[in-house]
Amino acid sequence: MITRRSLFALALAACLIAPARAQQPPAAPEDAYAREHYTKFEYEIPMRDGAKLFTAVYVPKDRSTTYPIMLNRTPYSVGPYGVDNYRAALGPSDHFMKDGFIFVYQDVRGRYMSEGTWVEVRPHKAQKSTKADTDESTDTYDTIDWLVKHLPANNGRVGMWGISYPGFYVAAGMIDAHPALKAASPQAPVTDYYLGDDAFHNGAFMLAANYGFYSAFVERKGGPARPPQGRTAIDWGTPDGYDFYLKMGPIVNGAQRYPAPNPYWQINIDHTSYDDFWKARSIWRHASNITPAVMTVGGWFDAEDLQGPLRLYRAMEPTSGGRTNVLVMGPWTHGSWSRGDGDRVGNLRFGSKTSAFYREHIEFPFFTSVLKDRAPKAPLPEAYVFETGTNEWARYDTWPPKHATPTTFHLGPKGTLTASAPTTSAGFDEYVSDPNKPVPYVGYVTMGMRADYMTEDQRFAATRPDVLVYETPVLDNDLRVTGPIDVTLHVSTTGTDADFVVKVIDVYPNDFPSADGPGPQPANAVRMATYQQLVRGEPFRGKFRKSFETPEPFTPGTPATITFTMPDVAHVFRKGHKLMVQIQSSWFPLTDRNPQTFGHIPSTKPEDFKAQTHRVYRDAARPSAITLRVRP
């Protein structure tokens, strides 16, 4: 029992302790290390066509030696602006800042304090005949040329890194690169907005992520300017994204909720097929004549740019010759390898600090070996990937690894998933898909696209009548899957268009321990026993089954074939688990709703969103299946 005396004693102790606390020195400001060891400069670097790009430079104060340059080009602002205002962190990680580099940050053409006009994913110009023929490759070349000629204490070597959109600028900048660019690391790079990166996945529009992004990423009016203060935010009016986007109706209505017209959002409304607009922005198609050492980085759970690093690595590999071309894939969400420990995503635990390991033992040695001639403790493999399930790093000399055997699992009767091909002459499963009651992408209320949705529990979806579920028996041995996943669906619909979402799932055993370990758990804790972990999921918009360039309606009631490839995985379905496949026709509001009436979906009228019955066939003539690449 607490008495008055005990309360008085506590108060007296607090009075005695307080002066000692008051005498403690204040915490050092976040930018203290950078201020102590670096001097900041700001420049306007001229490009070949006369445009000047704003560039912030941090040079080590110790001039007793020379340093390589680390360059980051961004559309997101190099701030804080002003030579007396410092970034708290410099470079890809603290390892770089404390080791000593010259750090350079540049506002790309047309963004914030740089001159010129900004273009969304500026197209690469393979042929350049005049100084007016500029692109991100030439802007990078001109920037590096100026830096090595004008910056004090540089050793003539340049490294370049960037995550997400800045990763695109790395990918563009290492094409026809300046001779001083020796090492480049495109991380979660945007390589093809339409083919699987931020905007479209197999023709389906990634609604929640893009609508939220373009509410803040707006057009600059006029000439160079610092980021505006007090920008008007969108009025969501609800914490429930499912409700918000459902009430939006056709997504062309989304522009009405923005504080001002946004031409970047409008691009996605106007270009819903793989037309010349998107093809011109496919930087991976130009990934040749690359001379720097390259380390491409991505995350298995990157909800924005998972496909980008995989596609870019594959595009470079045929012409890499003896040049370093390393792929690193870890158990990360978008860009999370650059911060935090990386020991968990959502409900999953990985048993080690994967992000910290990457920064110290992979990223830092890659750059120092090339830029500082510092031999790494161990050479990097061709592919350095983290295998989930067993939660181990694996080193491969090719990706996908050699000796991975294509193994097909067929959809069977009564929800079975089997290695045996069907032999019956007839067989199908069907469900009614209502676009006015779409399947949510997570089983709880959330506003936009969650960064960790790619690990989410799918048990909520398995109980819905508009979701088909197929699973194997309990596995007798580990099933080690490495590489892309191929999908073949034979389908029909009573409508003229339909989406088909395929999810590959790891079903945990009944005795799997809870996320926070054994023992009593809170009443609302996630029970990991029988957890249905999403391993990989992708939508496919049916009207693009023959061509992403030219959509084609379904003929109601007539079977059609859909084939596509899902992004790679490195996952082990452990002994005692089960492999599951779920199929559905909406994934909301992760993807926009398909009205199931053929037409230009963004501007479809509300009355055209109609419930339809879809069939998935599984007979000898039409065997629907997934194909995994399995290693012994």
pLDDT band of residue 7 (cuts 50, 70, 90) is: very low
Which pLDDT does position 9 carry in this prediction?
Answer: 39
**What's the CATH number where 494 sits?**
2.60.120.260
In a domain, 160, yes or no: yes
Instruction: Write phi, then psi, for 148 (nearest 5 degrees).
Output: -70, -20
Instruction: Write phi, then psi, for 153 (nearest 5 degrees).
Output: 65, 20
Helix, coil or strand: residue 228 = coil
Q: Would you tell me how many other CB atoms lie within 10 Å of the CB of residue 37?
A: 16
Same-domain status, 372 and 411: no
In the numeric block, the tokens 């030439």 are attached to 138
Instruction: Kindly state the tokens that stand for 312.
Output: 């870019």
Same-domain status, 534 and 615: yes
Q: Is the pLDDT of residue 269 over 50?
A: yes
Same-domain status, 426 and 571: yes
**What's the CATH number where 70 sits?**
3.40.50.1820
| Helical axes 307-316 vs 165-173, angle rounded to 10° | 10
Question: What is the distance between the alpha carbons of residues 526 and 442, in angstroms, rounded to a whole number?
Answer: 14
| Structural domain ending residue among the three candidates 396, 424, 450 | 396
Do residues 590 and 206 make contact, with C-beta atoms less than 8 angstroms apart? yes
Question: Domain containing 188: what range?
Answer: 32-125+132-192+281-396
| Structural domain ending residue among the three candidates 348, 370, 396 | 396
| Helical axes 263-270 vs 207-214, angle rounded to 10° | 150
Same-domain status, 575 and 435: yes
Instruction: Give bridge partners of residue 103 from the DSSP assignment.
Output: 58, 70
Q: Which helix (H) or strand (E) is 248 found in, with range?
A: helix 241-248
pLDDT in tens, 249-265: 999 999 988 988 999 99
Which pLDDT does position 232 carry in this prediction?
Answer: 64
Same-domain status, 48 and 177: yes
Same-domain status, 441 and 544: yes
Cα–Cα distance list, 31 to 67, 106, 163 (Å): 21, 19, 22
Please state which of the ranges 37-46, 181-190, 224-233 shows the lowest mean pLDDT. Answer: 224-233
Instruction: Kindly state the tokens that stand for 325.
Output: 């071309």
| Structural domain ending residue among the three candidates 396, 419, 435 | 396
Cα–Cα distance list, 515 to 93, 461, 533, 573 (Å): 29, 21, 13, 18
Which pLDDT does position 23 carry in this prediction?
Answer: 57
In a domain, 1, yes or no: no
In a domain, 588, yes or no: yes
Which pLDDT does position 24 carry in this prediction?
Answer: 61
Cα–Cα distance list, 33 to 88, 98, 154, 340, 515 (Å): 8, 9, 21, 19, 37
In a domain, 255, yes or no: no
Same-domain status, 390 and 490: no
Same-domain status, 330 and 473: no
Same-domain status, 319 and 451: no
In a domain, 543, yes or no: yes
pLDDT in tens, 369-386: 999 999 988 899 999 999
Which pLDDT does position 584 carry in this prediction?
Answer: 98
pLDDT band of residue 13 (cuts 50, 70, 90) is: very low
**DSSP labels, 462-474:** HTSTTSEEEEPPP
Which pLDDT does position 14 carry in this prediction?
Answer: 37
Domain total in the chain: 2
pLDDT in tens, 528-573: 999 999 999 999 999 999 999 999 999 999 999 999 999 999 999 9
Which pLDDT does position 588 carry in this prediction?
Answer: 98
Q: What percent of the chain has pLDDT over 70?
A: 94
Report how far apart the first and last C-alpha atoms of the chain are (Å, whole number). 64
Cα–Cα distance list, 155 to 66, 148, 373 (Å): 5, 8, 12
Instruction: Kindly state the tokens that stand for 44.
Output: 């306007």
Same-domain status, 44 and 184: yes
Same-domain status, 458 and 369: no
In a domain, 15, yes or no: no
Which pLDDT does position 136 carry in this prediction?
Answer: 98
Closest CA to 283 of 136, 405, 139, 172: 172
Which pLDDT does position 96 carry in this prediction?
Answer: 98
Same-domain status, 366 and 492: no
Q: Is the pLDDT of residue 26 over 70?
A: no
List Cβ neighbours of 278 (8 Å cut-off, separation of 6 or more): 192, 193, 194, 195, 271
Q: Would you tell me how many other CB atoms lie within 10 Å of the CB of residue 258?
A: 15
In a domain, 521, yes or no: no
pLDDT band of residue 272 (cuts 50, 70, 90) is: very high
Do residues 463 and 431 make contact, with C-beta atoms less than 8 angstroms apart? no
In a domain, 27, yes or no: no
Do residues 41 and 57 make contact, with C-beta atoms less than 8 angstroms apart? yes
Question: Nearest 5 degrees, angle CA 200-CA 204-CA 207?
Answer: 75
